[in-house]
A and B are shown apart, each in its own frame.
Chain A
Amino acid sequence: MLLATDRSRERLIVGFLFALAFVVPWLMPSRALFIAETAGVALFALSLDLVLGYAGIVSLGHAAFFGVGAYAAGLFARFVMPDPLTGLAVGIVVAALAGLVCSLTILRGSDLTRIMVTLAVSLLLYELANRFDAITGGADGLQGMSMGPLLGRFEFDLQGQVPATYALVVLFLALLLVRRVVRSPLGATLLAVRDNPLRAAAVGIPVASRLAFAYVFGAALAGAAGALVAQTSGFVSLEVFSIERSADVLLMLVIGGAGWVYGGVLGAVAFKVLNELIAGITPQYWTFWMGLFLLAIGLLGRERILRPWTLW
C-alpha cells in the first residue's frame, strides 16, 4: 500500500461514486437533507479513522470534538456572523484546540486509560453545555441560528440541495487531504507508531509528537463534521456530545473497516442507509436489526457479506 504507484482504478471508482452523490440531491430533492447529514457523519467517521485506524488511539469519546465543532459553529452563526465558511473554520479551530489540550492526556497510559479519558471528556462537555443553557439553550438545544448565503451567493434552501452540495464538497476535500497525508512519508510514520511504538522510537520516530499530531488532526476534522451537521440542519442539541454518537461513529468505522481511508465514509453511508431502510419497515425495532447486522459482520467478516460466493 505504502509503495503502490498505480492508482488509476482507485481514482475512477472514487470519482464515480462522488459524482453520483453530487447528482442525487438535485434528482431526488426529498433526499437532500439526508445526504447532507450523511456527508457530515461520514466526515466524522473519517476523522475517527485517522485517530484509530492510522494512529491506533482507541477513543470512546470522539463525539467531544464533533460537539465542540457543532456548538462553536452554531454559537458563531447565532452571535457573531452567519457566513457558513467562516463558521466552519471556527468549528475546526476550536475543535483542534480542544484536541491539543486532550492530547496531553492520551499520550500517557494504555488503551484502557485512553478509553476512560476520552469518555470522561465528552461527559464533561455534555454537562457543561447543559449547565450553561443561557448561551447553549441547554436541553432545548441551540435554536435560532440562521445561515448566510454560501460564498455570498448561494442561499441555504429549505429543501437542502445547497447544504447537501456544500457538505459533499467539504467531505470530498477532507477525504483528499487525509488520503494525501496518510500515504505520505509522514503517514508512514503514523502506521509505524500504530503497529509498534517501541520499534518506531528505536528507528528515530518521535512517537509522542506523532500521536499528538494524529489526535489534533482528527479532532479538527471531527470539529468540521460537527460544524457541517449544525449548519446544514440549523440546530445543535446536547446529543452531539452523547455516548451514542461516539458509539455510532465507532460502529460506522468498524462496518467500513479502519485504516484504509475509505472505511469511514463507506461505513457511514451503509449505517445511515440501513438505518433509514430498516426504520422505514419497522420504526420501533430498527436497532434490533442493526444489532443483528453488526453481529453478522463480526461473525462472518465483511468480505463474506460483500462476496457471499467466496463463503464456500
Chain B
Amino acid sequence: MSLAVLRTERLEKRFGGIVATDSVSLSLAPGARHALIGPNGAGKTTLVNLLTGVLPASAGAVYLDEVDITRLPVHRRVARGMVRTFQISQLFRSLSARETLALVVGQRRGITLQWWGSLAHEVSVLERVDQLLEEFRLASVCDRRTDQLAYGKRRLLEIAIALACEPRVLLLDEPVAGVPAGEREEILQTLAALPAQVSILLIEHDMELVFGFSRFITVLVNGAVLAEGEPAVIAADPRVKAVYLGSGAEHAA
C-alpha cells in the first residue's frame, strides 16, 4: 500500500451543539478516483470546507503528503496542491477565460508578486494557457468576459482553473450540477481525461457519474462515514440502500 496523498484523522467540526463532521477518517491514494456521496445535509460541503481551510476544524487533523496542514490558511493549502472546484461556478467576471488562466498559471509559477512587467510577456505562461484552452474546448470563446460564457463553458473553465493550479489533490464539488443535457457530455469527457496522477475526490449527487467515474466510494451520513468500499460493494450494501440509494436510484435512472 502506497502512502496516502490526502489523509484525514478523526476530523471533526461542531457548530455549537451540532456535529456537522463526526470523526471522519479518509484516505486518498496517488491517482485516486474517489467519490464522496451522501444525502442532502450529510455534511459533504462542510467536509470540503474543512479540507480546503475555509472552516477551521474543531478536532482531528488533515495531512497532505503526510504534512499536517490542519492550521494552514486556504491559499497556503492551494500552494501545496490542495485545489477545489465550486458547485456554483466562481469566476472572475470582468476577466476573459484567457486572462483568468494566465493569472492562475502566473500565480502558480510565483510571478504574481511582480509589480512590473505584464502577463502578456510571459511566453511560457501563455503557452500553458493555450494548451489548457485547447484541452478544455475553450479556445473559441477565450476572449469573452467570463460572465458572458454559456453555462457549460463556465463549468469547463471552473475545472480548467483548478487544473491550472497544478493540483496534487483535486476536490470536484458537483461538477455536472445544473448542466443542460446538451453540454453534459463535454464535461464528462473532460473529467475522464483529467491527468491520471492527480488524486480526485468527487462530491456528486449524480449516481451515473459517481459509478462511472470512481473506483472507491465513501458514503457520508449525518457527518459520519457510514460505509466505504469499491462501487460494487457500496451498491450491494443494504445500509447504503436504506439511507440513500433506495430513494436516490430512482432519481438517477
Binding site for B on A (CB under 8 A): 1-5, 180-181, 183-189, 191-192, 195-196, 198-207, 259
CB within 8 Å for A195 and B95 given contacts A185-B112, A188-B112: yes
Q: Are B78 and A184 in contact (CB under 8 A)?
A: no
Nearest A residue to B102 via CB reads A3
The answer, among A1, A195, A205, for a CB contact under 8 Å with B93, is A195
Distance between Cα atoms of A212 and B66 in the complex (Å):
33
The answer, among A3, A196, A205, for a CB contact under 8 Å with B112, is A205
Binding site for A on B (CB under 8 A): 52, 73-75, 78-79, 83-84, 86, 90-95, 98-99, 102-104, 106-108, 111-122, 126, 161, 164-165
Q: Are B120 and A192 in contact (CB under 8 A)?
A: no
The answer, among A187, A204, A259, for a CB contact under 8 Å with B75, is A204
Query: Top 5 nearest A-B pairs by Cβ distance?
Result: A204-B78, A199-B90, A195-B92, A201-B74, A185-B112
CB within 8 Å for A2 and B95 given contacts A192-B103, A203-B78, A204-B108: yes
12 contacts between A and B (CB under 8 A): A3-B119, A3-B126, A5-B120, A5-B121, A185-B117, A185-B119, A187-B115, A191-B103, A195-B95, A201-B74, A204-B78, A204-B79
The answer, among A185, A192, A195, for a CB contact under 8 Å with B118, is A185
- Beyond A180-B116, A186-B112, 8 additional contacts (C-beta under 8 Å) are A1-B99, A4-B120, A184-B115, A185-B111, A185-B112, A185-B117, A195-B94, A204-B79
CB within 8 Å for A2 and B119 given contacts A203-B161, A204-B165: yes
Distance between Cα atoms of A204 and B104 in the complex (Å):
8
Q: Are A2 and B115 in contact (CB under 8 A)?
A: no
Within 8 Å CB of B114, what residues of A? 184-186
CB within 8 Å for A196 and B92 given contacts A202-B84, A202-B86, A204-B79: yes
Nearest A residue to B89 via CB reads A199
Q: Are A199 and B115 in contact (CB under 8 A)?
A: no
Q: Are B113 and A186 in contact (CB under 8 A)?
A: yes
Distance between Cα atoms of A91 and B145 in the complex (Å):
40
Distance between Cα atoms of A198 and B90 in the complex (Å):
8
Q: Are A191 and B92 in contact (CB under 8 A)?
A: yes
The answer, among A186, A192, A199, A259, for a CB contact under 8 Å with B86, is A199
Distance between Cα atoms of A1 and B119 in the complex (Å):
11
Q: Are A199 and B91 in contact (CB under 8 A)?
A: yes
Interface centre among B94, B108, B112 (most CB of A within 10 A): B112
CB within 8 Å for A184 and B116 given contacts A202-B74, A203-B107, A204-B79: yes
Q: Are A205 and B75 in contact (CB under 8 A)?
A: yes
Nearest B residue to A1 via CB reads B99
Within 8 Å CB of A205, what residues of B? 75, 107, 112
